[in-house]
Amino acid sequence: MSAYLEEHRDVYYERLRAISENGDWNGWITFFLSALTEQAAQNTEKTKAIIDLYEKLKKQVVDVTHSQFAVHALDAIFSQPVFRGSQFQQLANIKTRPTAAHILKKLREVGVLKVLEEGKGSRSALIMFPELIYLVEGKRVL
């Protein structure tokens, strides 16, 4: 709701002011119900787009990684789209570090994942899933 209210800030304040000045609760209720309806429709579309992305990537990740852990990896990056490389094995519940590293490498190679910050010293790379972030936040990253 906050994104909608921010986008329609002038009307939002106008409706609040109309309550204070004229007792116009009907105007406020109408505005707020319209906001709820529009936001619910946008969230429904966003949810459908996320589900479609998941379904599209499920086959691609299996084909690219040739791993029994492909769906675990996909679930992990959908649940946490920004993570440290060192966290991935645990996030995806992958048994061995080399398998996790292989999957990460393959997903970076095909552009599903991007490095946001290179690893340095003992600190592993910060990795992101830009397409999901774009769907959720509505803005391109990297």
Q: How far apart are CA 46 and CA 52, in angstroms?
A: 10
Residue 130 is assigned to a structural domain of this protein: yes
C-alpha distance from residue 62 to each of 72, 93, 99, 129 (Å): 10, 16, 13, 17
- Write the pLDDT tens digit of every residue in 38-87: 999 989 999 999 999 999 999 999 999 999 999 999 999 999 999 999 99
Residue 115 is assigned to a structural domain of this protein: yes
Residue 142 is assigned to a structural domain of this protein: no
- 3-class state of residue 138 by DSSP: coil
pTM comes to: 0.79
CATH assignment at residue 34: 1.10.10.10
Residue 109 is assigned to a structural domain of this protein: yes
**Is the pLDDT assigned to residue 1 strictly greater than 90?**
no
